[in-house]
Amino acid sequence: DGGITQSPKYLFRKEGQNVTLSCEQNLNHDAMYWYRQDPGQGLRLIYYSQIVNDFQKGDIAEGYSVSREKKESFPLTVTSAQKNPTAFYLCATRKGLQQFFGPGTRLTVL
Amino acid sequence: GIQVEQSPPDLILQEGANSTLRCNFSDSVNNLQWFHQNPWGQLINLFYIPSGTKQNGRLSATTVATERYSLLYISSSQTTDSGVYFCAVGSNAGGTSYGKLTFGQGTILTVHP
């Protein structure tokens, strides 16, 4: 089954803890992206990666970190430095200029 | 950076009605996509349309790049069309866009039976 998977679907964490969100794809796309969506808002870019072992900050990278050790995987770590981490996180890949999205992870900080 | 404005912010329709959603953007673009976000949060690609007109069933879209706007038409709306519609654009300003998209705030569409 081809596509983009994100896990977990729902995630709860205590304030002050780091947490890692998974994004895996088997579409063989080089570029991958992480977005954040807050209620009633559009998506904002956190980080993106054009190729393995390379990634760039997006518009709201503070408090987040990523790695790209494999083409298929682009995990996002939400660190304790992120002041308002509760949000819906979406991962995407790109083919040409068209982006395709995973189902998302809803993170709630208690 | 590029600004994207969508209108209207909210739209309520009776099943069977037609609608037009608008997306204005502030600069030249080489990428424009329309998405539908369903109630579970999944973003579904509707159109990749940096210019011209495309149709897919009851949906069609037109982008007039020189005038910096795009329109999404929904005909004979159904309750399953409900959700949020996003316009997202990308530009190649400076030659280093890396395929980045800037999203509008979305139009919330509710279709009643």
Domains of chain B, residue spans: 4-112
**Could you tell me which residues of chain A have a Cβ less than 8 Å from any Cβ in chain B?**
31, 37, 40-45, 48, 50, 56, 58-59, 88, 90, 94, 97-101, 103-104, 106
What is the radius of gyration, based on Cα positions, of chain A?
13
Backbone angles phi, psi at B104, to 5 degrees: -75, 180
Whether residues B48 and A98 touch (CB distance < 8 A) is answered with: yes
Of residues B91 and A88, which shows the higher confidence score? A88
**∠B86-A25-A13 over CA atoms, to 5°?**
75
Confidence band for B25, pLDDT divided at 50, 70 and 90: very high
Mean pLDDT of A97-107: 94
Average pLDDT, chain A: 94
Percent of chain A exceeding pLDDT 70 equals 98
For residue B94, pLDDT beyond 80: no
Instruction: Tell me the chain A residues in contact with residue B99 when contact means C-beta distances shorter than 8 Å.
Output: 31, 48, 94, 97, 99
Confidence band for A105, pLDDT divided at 50, 70 and 90: very high
Confidence band for B79, pLDDT divided at 50, 70 and 90: very high
Mean pLDDT of A74-91: 94
Whether residues A48 and B35 touch (CB distance < 8 A) is answered with: no
Could you tell me which chain A residue has the CA closest to the CA of B30?
A: A97
Tokens for B98?
């890396």
Give me the residues of B, 53-112, that contact A with CB < 8 A.
86, 88, 90, 98-101, 103-106
Residues 6+ apart with CB under 8 A from A100: A4, A27, A29, A92, A93, A94, B45
Instruction: Tell me the chain B residues in contact with residue A40 when contact means C-beta distances shorter than 8 Å.
Output: 105
Q: Tell me what pLDDT residue A97 has.
A: 86
Distance between CA atoms of residues A25 and B53, nearest Å = 31
Confidence band for B86, pLDDT divided at 50, 70 and 90: very high
For residue B96, pLDDT beyond 90: no
Q: Which residues of A67-89 are buried (b: 16+ CB within 10 A; e: fewer)?
A: ebeebbebbbebeeebeebebbb
Whether residues B30 and A97 touch (CB distance < 8 A) is answered with: yes
Distance between CA atoms of residues A63 and A7, nearest Å = 20
Strands A31-37 and A87-95 turn out to be antiparallel
Task: Identify the CATH number of the domain defined by range B4-112.
Answer: 2.60.40.10
Instruction: Inform me whether the C-beta atom of residue B45 falls under 8 Å from chain A C-beta atoms.
Output: yes
